[in-house]
Chains A and B, each alone.
Chain A
Amino acid sequence: MIEVKNATLQYTTFKRSQGLKGVMHDFFKRSVIQVEALSDISLTINEGEMIGLIGRNGAGKTTLIKLLTGILPLRQGEIKIDQMLPYQREKVFLKNIGVLLGQRSQLIWDLPAIDTYDMLAAIYELPKQMYNARLTWLSEQLEVTELLYIPVRKLSLGQRVKCELIAALLHRPKYLFLDEPTLGLDFVTQKTIYKILRLENQYHKTTIITTSHYIKDIEQLADKVIILNKGKIIFNDKLEQLPKELTTEILFDIDFLNSKSVEKKLTCAPDKLNEILAKIPAERILRVSQRGMELEELILQFIKGDSI
């Protein structure tokens, strides 16, 4: 179980002055500023849960993941994963976590992926039989059996991400942290990754924490959502528990031609529809359609609401 209590994290950065005079001033005395990356965060994640961690850039998602994986030290508050403090990086703790980052490779670039897997099996002290069975199952599910013996640098992005996923799952981690797992991948590869992660969760009760800007990832990989804004948790519950007035909101899309005859689109709430339609010449209106709010917009509205 992951328990976070009143976690607060500040970091120091420097404010640069403008112009040559400012540069000279900074050379001798820099203005130090404290930035609060996380502010009094408390949450509990139970074993086997699938969590989506979302928020805008700089909301604190990555910082929270870094704290949970023991990369950053916590100076205020407490984080415990199975009663262990992540930053102490105990061997048992490290054996229980797996990390997949869309933009960072853990495979050895010049060698075939199989060499990295052999090395990882030794690092995680996997019994040979378990390693072989696990590798066979994962490579078959992800359809990369033929690619295991090709140097990583020769693989396409999608093939590499699949191989990265095997590296993250090989030791059957109890907690899996995913950051933008489907970044730049095609639809078919995305579906394959969703499938395997769902299976991992079902078979091994793997706790999966996904951060993504791509809402499809969250819809597919999260039963519960944590929304972060400016270092604070503003929502922590199941998706269907988002405020009803937002989820039931109806929106209208108005497609029209502007004065330069270029097609444009406006989205508005029902009470603004007549007002907007009155401003557009009737012959330039192409279509008006009604729709419910999509998850992406719903979350955006929610964050905006908190910002106000």
Chain B
Amino acid sequence: MKYLYVFLASLKAKLIYRTNIVLEYGLTILQVGVSIFVWEALYSQKALVVPNYSLEKLNAYLFLANFLALSFSVAPAFRLATQIKSGRLSTLLERPISLYGEHLAYFIGDQFLGIVINLCLVVYFGSLSGISVLMLLLLVIYLAFAGVMFFSLMMILGMLAFWLIELWPLRSFVTACYLLFGGRYFPLSHLPNKFFIVIQYNPFSLVTDIPARFLTVGLSGYELMQYLIVTLGWTFIFLVIYRLILKHGLRLYEGVESI
């Protein structure tokens, strides 16, 4: 029940800033538009072609990958890092609530609109590609687990603030990783095969590239299950690391600038 109230409070706070929401989605559309424009130029001159992707499918892939990245946001890392640096983490530590649970409920509330939009996109592009309802349901389950996995990674990155004095290196690092390994500029399958075999299992790819690939060029049920197992493996590893880092990090926490 307590987490439901955190979720509701976060959702209400998010909806207050309507301009921010419009700008967030507007800028993403603009960014995707630029990528599409570049790829259209490359395809029209036959300078570069991504295997298995027609221009139409590539456009859909870029659109999906970038919109999914809005929901699988890096915001939890920076919310936690800022709380640690400002000492506001103490407020949470003084309450009978789990730090992980509070942040997860807040994150879902904050991203709720994006989650709804992405679910609509899944249904739309799924029906466009002729994917069965059962497979779409499997994808939604996969996305839920991938969301928890990605969130856990963000919590770990946020907790680096226990050790880091400045937060900007963390922000640059996470953004670079997302752009490089998330397939937000091109499908990761475009990479040389020996790189792709490894990179396809990285956490950033699992939340953007895999679902976008599933909805455009298609993945078999077996392949999706394989990615689901990898996602569960990452989740387990991240939760173990989270607990360890939290235990050690809290010993360094001084709650500076407040009690």
A-to-B contact residues, CB < 8 Å: 11, 62, 65-66, 69-73, 89, 91, 94-95, 97, 99, 101, 103-104, 106, 108, 110-111, 115-116, 118-120, 122-125, 151, 177, 179
Whether, in the assembled complex, B176 has its beta carbon less than 8 Å from a beta carbon of chain A, the answer is no
A108 with B13: CB separation less than 8 A: yes
Which residues of B have CB within 8 Å of A65?
259
List the count of A-B residue pairs having beta carbons below 8 Å apart. 83
Most buried by B among A66, A73, A177: A66
Inter-chain CA distance A103–B13, complex, in Å, is 22
CB <8 Å contact, A104 and B90: yes
Q: Which of B16, B90, B97, B250 contacts A73 (CB 8 A)?
A: B250
In the complex the two chains form, what is the Cα distance from A73 to B252 in whole Å? 9
Count B interface residues, CB 8 Å.
28
Docked-complex contact A123 and B259, CB < 8 angstroms: no
The residues of A that contact B254 with a CB separation of less than 8 Å are 11, 72
Query: In the complex, A143→B12 CA distance in Å?
Result: 26
Minimum CB–CB distance for B246 against chain A, Å = 12
Contact of B2 among A73, A108, A122, A177 (CB under 8 A): A122
A-B contact list, 30 entries, CB within 8 Å? A66-B255, A69-B94, A69-B259, A70-B93, A70-B94, A71-B253, A72-B253, A89-B93, A97-B94, A99-B94, A101-B259, A103-B257, A104-B90, A104-B258, A104-B259, A108-B9, A111-B9, A111-B12, A118-B9, A119-B5, A119-B6, A119-B9, A120-B95, A122-B5, A123-B6, A123-B96, A124-B96, A125-B1, A125-B2, A151-B16
Contact A103 B6 (CB under 8 A): no
Q: Which residue of A lies closest to B250 (CB)?
A: A73
Residues on A with beta carbons closer than 8 Å to the beta carbon of B12: 111, 115
CB distance from B18 to the nearest CB of A (A): 12
Task: List B204-259 residues whose CB lies under 8 Å from chain A.
Answer: 250-251, 253-255, 257-259
| Chain B residues within an 8 Å CB radius of A71 | 90, 93-94, 253, 255, 259
Complexed CA–CA distance, A100 and B258 (Å): 11
A159 → B minimal CB distance (Å): 19
Which residues of A lie under 8 Å from residue B17 when comparing CB positions? 110
CB atoms of B16 and A110 under 8 A apart: yes
* Distance of A191 Cα from B149 Cα, bound (Å): 51
Give the residue name and chain of the A residue nearest to B95 (CB): A123
